Chain A
Amino acid sequence: EIVLTQSPATLSLSPGDRATLSCRASQSVLSNFLAWYQQKPGQTPRLLIYGASTRVAGIPDRFSGSGSGTDFTLTIGRVEPEDFAVYYCHQYGSASPWAFGQGTKVEIK
């Protein structure tokens, strides 16, 4: 199974700051099948990005995904108060095991 390692574990930011979250895979992610989710306390996760860089309809354009192979990044252009949450990366595919990263918490500085 692929292992996904997210960094940093916690990101302390002020509203308006730029957030850069990293997700590194132990082996290459086929077809860039890499997704990002946001989870707030008491809520189920929300899909933000799939295919490494495609934003889901309705997700603000301050969220962007990039990367390929083993290194992926979620960027929040200017963090809004509602963006403070935990973010997870997820490797998926149609004929192989899946994996989640351990999460990055974006907290208010």
Chain B
Amino acid sequence: QVHLVESGGGLVKPGGSLRLSCAASGFAFRDYYMTWIRQAPGKGLEWVSYIGGNGVTRFHADSVEGRFSISRDNGKNSLYLQMDNLRPEDTAIYYCVRDQARLGVAGLAHWGQGTRVTVSS
């Protein structure tokens, strides 16, 4: 059974940094694209970043480009999001999500429960 557990969220001041982690289990982690999605309070879904199984293919949304960096450690079955120069508008629940397709992309089928990030002075 697919299991995704995020950690690392919290309260941080504007300009600060956080590193989110996602521990994955129940599947061949290295075979799947992994994604970070966020949802601000009372708002819609926003794609943040995704990374291919081998870690070479990576994309970030324009809103976080140059501030956030996605990475993965296939040996530890873990996904990360390094978030620097945080802004109040980055306040959201951050979800670790796995694609439904092995070795490709076909929609986001498995979601963690999320970790809350609050950026405020």
Residues of A near any B CB (own CB < 8 A): 1, 33, 35, 37, 39, 44-45, 47, 49-51, 56, 86, 88, 90, 92-103
Contacts and interface: CB of A to CB of B under 8 A. Distances in A.
12 contacts: A1-B61, A35-B107, A39-B45, A44-B114, A45-B45, A90-B47, A90-B108, A94-B33, A94-B52, A97-B61, A98-B50, A99-B47
A44 B57 contact: no
Contact of B57 (A50, A56, A95): A95
A94 B105 contact: yes
A102 B61 contact: no
A90 to B, nearest CB: 7
B94 interface: no
Contacts of B8: none
A47 B108 contact: yes
A44 B96 CA distance: 11
Interface residues on B, range: 20 to 34
A35 B107 CA distance: 6
A51 B114 CA distance: 26
Considering residues B37, B106, B113, which has the most beta carbons from chain A within 10 angstroms of its beta carbon?
Answer: B106
Contacts of A35: 106-108
Interface string B86-107: 0000000001000010001111
B53 to A, nearest CB: 10
Nearest to B113: A44
A49 B108 CA distance: 10
Given A56-B100, A94-B57, A98-B50, A45 B44 contact: no
A51 B105 CA distance: 10
A44 B95 contact: yes
A47 B62 CA distance: 24
Nearest to A49: B107
Contacts of A47: 100, 107-109
Contact of A100 (B44, B107, B109): B44
Contact of A45 (B33, B106, B108): B108
Interface in B15-62: 33, 35, 37, 44-47, 50, 52, 57, 59-62
